[in-house]
Each structure stands twice: as structure tokens, then as C-alpha cells.
Chain A
Amino acid sequence: MAMSELSLKSVRKTFGALEVIKGVDLEIEKGEFTVFVGPSGCGKSTLLRMIAGLEDISSGDLEISGERMNETDPSKRGIAMVFQSYALYPHLTVRQNMGFALRFAGVPKAEIEKQVMDAARILELEKLLDRKPKALSGGQRQRVAIGRAIVRHPKVFLFDEPLSNLDAELRVHMRVEIAKLHKKLGATVVYVTHDQVEAMTLADKIVVLRDGRIEQVGSPLQLYSDPDNRFVAGFIGSPKMNFLPATAVTTNGQPSIRLDASGIVLPAGHLATRLAEGTKLVAGLRPEIFKDGGDSSLLLDIEMVEHLGSETLVHARSGETLVTVKYGGIRPMKDGETVRAEFDAASVLFFGADDQRIR
């Protein structure tokens, strides 16, 4: 088995009596782009800072290239970090900022200059090298911050929400730049974000965190189409998955699931789990599974329609439950109408009362 570039074993972090990272096990392969996602306060940034050495590890082991790094100084872990606020030294020029770490590592001047020039070329920063950070735009600052990381040739790049301070347009642009850069350098990347679009587009592997624990690890499409639990199902995908209360029933001798509000019955024969009659569960319907010609349907009272041109978002009610439906293109639907929204029953996911997926 190939050795992981980065490995976390039962890693925990406590602040006094408060445990913020509750035992994380994770293997990241060389060259892999791994994204930590999760809601605010889930511990994703803390975990990244623990990898960087900016926070102590309370227990467990951190290994980089097979070497235990728990107590190693941040500068000697073979990592480089890009911060949300860029954290460029305001009193130094771009050139000095990028060469700063090398200067402290005792690298000869000529070599520093070469490394800085190489990184500047990759990031198209050559013309800005003698400027101070305050004379740069947000996107340029972010490129300098990335350049500062590149010159160190780290084993692992750590990104802490690097695009959050940029406007929407620039964020998309920088996202593409980071993806290209990863391809070009073939570097191992750990990237923290709360933006699931960033996670989906950049990641080879997504780690979904909640409350200091890993909820699921997998490729973006795996998490989207095969989530382990209701939290991951709800977190990945936009608009969010619809959750409708349901009950296990038997129809014509076949195991089925009935949606409580609408009375619609869905076949459950494909599930490996045998559900006892009357078991309460939750059906998960992604907004995008609704399409004309589906084998099942929901009767919906439309509350609001959002026409976005390329798609139409319908916010409606099925009984008490709010349901969002996403149709491609333009649909002539109006607020207050009642419509029958069709979908394929096979696309519906089911979750138990404990929020775990029923397969």
C-alpha cells in the first residue's frame, strides 16, 4: 500500500474542558486535493491549524511523509499555508514577502531570487514584485500569498478559506487558478472552505466535518449521490435536499415507504435493510430529481417561483413541509398555483430516525 503523504490518527484537540476535535482519522495521498467542509464552528480550521503546527495536538498522531510531526516546529513540517486574510507582511515588498521564509531558512540570496522569480512567473506576478501589498488588489494579494507558499516547495499546501475575502467574480476566477496550479504542481493540498461549490469543484476528496467529527469522506460525486447520513445529504448540493417525513409500509405484499404528507407510496424493495412496518423515517429528494415523465409525483402548492433564466426554482409546500424543486430552463409557473411535480422514485434516498442512511 502506498504511504500517505499526510495521516491523522485519532487526533483530538481540547481547550480546557471543551473538546473541539473529537478523534479524527484521515489519510491523504500524495498529490491529492482534499477539502475540509462543514458549517461554522465544526472544527475544520482548527484541524488545519493543527496540521500546520499553529495549534497543539492534545492527543493522537500527525504524520507527514511517514514522520510523526506532533511537536515539530511549523516551519520544519514541510508545509506552507495560505491564509484567509492573505497575511502578507505589509511593510515588505512582494519580492521580500515571497522570499521571507527562504531567508530564514538560510537559503543563499541567488537561490531565493531564482525561486521567487519562478513562482512569480507561474502566478504572473513579475511586474508586481517591487510593490507593497497595499498597492495590490485582493486577487493579486491572494496570488502573492500563494506564491509565498510555492517558493518553499512544501510537501503539503494548506489553504484556510483563501477565497472568502474576494468578490464573487474574482472568487470564481481564483478557484480556476488554484485548480490549474494544483494540476501544474501536482502538489498535495488540504483546503478549508465553507463554500460547497468550492469543495465540489476543487476536491479529489471531500471531508465533511461536523462538531469536531468526520461525517463522511469521499469524492465530490460520491458524497452527492451516496451520502452516509442526513447531514452530508443536506450539506452537499445546492439548493439543499428536501427531507419529507415517511413511514415504512407494506403494499400488495411488497415493502414500501409512504410519504406522510402526501400519501404517495414509493417502492422499497431495492433496500437491503428490512424495515419493520410503521418505522418512522425521512425521505430525501434532491430538488433536481424532479422532471417531467417521472414514475412518481408530488402535489405541490407553489409559494414562490424564482426565474433564473437557465433554471427555475420553485418553493412550494407538500402538506406542512417546504419543498424546493429545480427545473432546467424557463417554466411558466406562478405563485399560488398547485402543480404535480414528477420524479423518479429510484432517485429518492432514505434516512432512519438516527439520521443514518438506509441502504
Chain B
Amino acid sequence: MGYFFQQLVNGIMLGSVYSLVALGLTLIFGILGVAHFAHGHFYMLGAFLMFFLSVSFGVPYWAALAISVAFFCLVGVGVEFIYRPVRDKSDVSAFIVAIGMLLVIEEAVRAVWGTGNRRITNPYPQVLKFAGITLQYQRLIIIGAAIVLIVLLHLFIKRTRMGSAIEAVAQDREGAALVGISVNRVSILTFSVATGLAAAAAGLAAPLAFIAPDMANTLVLKAFVIIVLGGLGSIKGAILGGYLLGVMEALAIAYISPAYKDVWAFAALILILAIRPTGLFGGRE
């Protein structure tokens, strides 16, 4: 039972990361129709920035995290500008731009930091023990921080003018433009928030992970699986799907086989889409 519970916590932690990344992706996809396939690479960049700040400059953990998130909110603005010329073209164009972006980022990181795995020191190496389970503090911090971020995002969208503009564009882009909402501004804002979320997820998970240029390759694909299953553009679907996939994966690694750990999610996706071509929770065409 203790082992199961331990895996469950691992799954929820993994799910927290998935949810944060998938949230950004679903905002971008749902609102702008851009298949931002390079999103995972900004997660990877976020992890490297954490490494750079805390190892090379000795910046304390939380300060490094704050700097990283702020920086990547700005980076998101730049990303939006790259996508802008293809935003209203076919799905394919944006996807190809994303692949180009991903190649540039991955190779740039390789050129600067090499291909090896890097680590940053865990700021909270203590463990919590109860009822036969050992939990690292950092895992609990990830889970807690993800919940805080999700609640903040929810409040931002529901309670602020800027946030509700995002929701309006998500529901009806032309309508939103007609009532005077600037789609360009919303687009910039969305990319900024999404990229910031990815950096936050990366910063939170960084102390527990190997940091390498190819760390995000399956992450973005999984995030896509999550948002497709959750319904493109659905915030609730991305959160639920993220946690669900995290837990499923942790249990599959523990009880079935770690070699095929990445396969289950994708196989599930193909099967589910074959039965429900627009995702589990409805979603939009």
C-alpha cells in the first residue's frame, strides 16, 4: 500500500508538470489555432536558465525561479511575433514554423551547454516520513505550487479584464474583434502567459530532473495528447488530462514496464481518437 501511495504521489507530481505545460498549449491552440509544437522546448530552455542562474551565478532557488518565469513571459512575446505571419494560414504552416523553432532552440542549447545531462542542487533535500511513505519536500512543493498557479490562472481569466479578453477570443475570435478586443494583444498575452507557465513548470521540476537538450521531446507530444483528449482549447480538460496522464504513467512504470512508459499515452490517444474523433470531452473541430 505504501508503495502504491508513493507512486500515486509521483504521478500527481508528474501530472502537475504535465498540466502546467498542457495549459499553455491549450490556451495557444484553443485561442489562436496554432499548433505550438516548440512549446516543450521552452520548458527545456526554462530548465537550462534555472541551471545557468543557480549553478553559474549562485542565485537562490526561488529568486532564480521568479527571474526565469518573468524572462520567459517576455520570450513568449517574441514567440508570438514569429508565429504572427502564419497565424491565419493553414494548421500546417504554424506546425512547420514550430518545427523550425524547435530545431533552432535545441541546437543552440547543444552548442552552448553540450549534450550531457546537468543537474541543479535540490534546495529542499529533506524528506517527510509518515505511515511508511517517504516524500521529498520538493515533490510536495511542485504539487502545491502547481495548484497555486492553476488557481491564479483561473482568477486571472475570470476576474480581470485582460483575462476575460482571452476567454472571449477563445469563444469567438471574429466576435471578439467586433466588440473591440484586439486579437493581436490577446495573442501576445496568451503566448506570454503560456511560455511563463512552461518556465514555471520547468523551474519547479528542475531540482528533481536531469537537464538535457532532448528532455522535452516527449513532453510536448504528451502535452498534445492531453489537450487533444481534453478537447482543444479546454482549460479544464488540460488540467484533468494532465493529472490523469501523470498518474497513469507513474502506475504503468511501477506495475507494467518502464521501457514502454512513453507508449501508453500515445496508444491510448490513437485508440480514443479512433472512437471519438474530437477528443474525450467534446472539443472543437
Q: A and B: real partners?
A: no
Give B contacts to A, CB under 8 Å.
Answer: none
